[in-house]
Amino acid sequence: MNQELKAATVPGVNPYAALDTPAARAAPPTPFDRLQFEIGRWVDEGSLRYEAWRIGRTPPARIRARAERYRRALEFLEERGALADPSRLFDLPLELPTVERKPVGFWGLPRCESIRFESRPPFAFPEAFATAVRDDGGRNRATRTYLWRAGGRGRPAVICIHGYRGGFPPLDGRAFGVSSLAGAGLDVALATLPLHGARAPRGTSSGQLFLNDPLRTIEAVVQGVSDLRRLARWLRAEGAPSVGVTGMSLGGYMTALLASIEPELEFAVPVIPVASFADILWQRAGMRGEHADARAAGIDLALLRRLFSPHCPLSHRPLIAPNRRLIVAGEADRIVPPEHAAALAAHWQAPIEWFPGGHLTQLGRGRAFARFIATARNGASR
């Protein structure tokens, strides 16, 4: 077992401490920043209220059924040792992929290459995944990546990972500013996570199956990490002298996890990152008024944290040098509150570059992204 991948459990240290204590944020310094803050906050809160109304309150009987599924999942994880040693999910051999490539274009973005290869994840719990997902036509077994080159071969590369329910290159490419990244001398590889975008099984929406069952989530995360590591190794084989990673929201979560598992990354920049999906799910349950019913069924935040711990970035040590870690977060973010960035920053011993906007409307992020590019170029020069 690779000792570098052992879980970051330190006696007396609570990696969730920043999540348990609401962050005291200073008011944005200028009237314009305050306007950007209020717009970001308003859009995020409106989205959350709509989501809570659309989903509605979960009936107690369904919560009890969910609790039983959670208990079975915990037993499943305990039997396989994943709770005691999360690294066993990821410490597995990887082979260089054979890719299919073709030129493609998206309106408003530079031309790029579509890169595809077979996903060969070393599933830890294949029976759970196989029974949960009908992968019609093998859509989830073919990776999807879109590669923008900054110039000729031999440029440093950055892997960009979209957020939950993303996986649509025209939107994701704009969200990451691929033109700016390429202009800074970086090749940009925009990856599609399992069960998202063109990889979503027929009859499901992008990401629909990613978070609605704890064992399936583990398998999707294991598959995503395997795909991303193989992509990084392929980029290096293509001539990239260095490869780093960035991602937004769920992509920030995957960025932080990948930076704790893949030892050859040169930099990592989680953006508006989730630090703990257990806390996100518990927050959403509270918004729908479900906490009392959940506790009555035996579900609480501690149980959810244990259930998601094998792949939580707070359970793993980062492998990237401290001066090549940066976190970018929105002061007005209400979808992934600032406490998540604070928790990851404390665990990583990394700086946070704040912008005044929110999760969905990232207003005022220019300075933060300039620092992101500087961090990437610093890592690429090593």
Nearest to 91, CA basis, from 81, 106, 99: 81
Low-confidence residues of the chain: pLDDT under 50 = 1-11, 131-132, 134
Q: What is the DSSP string of 108-145?
A: TS--EEEEE-B-----SSHHHHHHH---GGGGGGB--E
Strands in the chain per DSSP E? 100-104, 112-116, 145-148, 157-161, 187-191, 243-248, 268-271, 327-330, 352-355
Instruction: Determine how many CB atoms are found less than 10 A away from the CB of residue 46.
Output: 12
- Residue 56 domain flag: yes
Report the pLDDT value the prediction gives residue 124, as an integer from 0 to 100: 59
Contact 186, 158 (CB under 8 A): yes
Domain assignment of residue 295, given as a range: 29-380
Report the pLDDT value the prediction gives residue 43, as an integer from 0 to 100: 97
Tokens found for residue 131 = 């029974």
- Residue 240 domain flag: yes
Report the pLDDT value the prediction gives residue 158, as an integer from 0 to 100: 96
Q: What is the DSSP letter of 104?
A: E
Report the pLDDT value the prediction gives residue 5, as an integer from 0 to 100: 36
- Residue 5 domain flag: no
**Strand order in 112-116's β-sheet?**
100-104, 112-116, 145-148, 187-191, 157-161, 243-248, 268-271, 327-330, 352-355
- Residue 16 domain flag: no
Provide the CB-side half-sphere exposure for 263 (13 A, CA): 9
- Residue 165 domain flag: yes
Report the pLDDT value the prediction gives residue 132, as an integer from 0 to 100: 47
- Gap between the Cα atoms of 361 and 231, Å rounded: 30
- Residue 298 domain flag: yes
- Residue 4 domain flag: no
Structural domains counted in the chain:
1
Instruction: Residue 53: give its domain's CATH number.
Output: 3.40.50.1820
Tokens found for residue 290 = 């479900």
pTM: 0.93
- Residue 6 domain flag: no
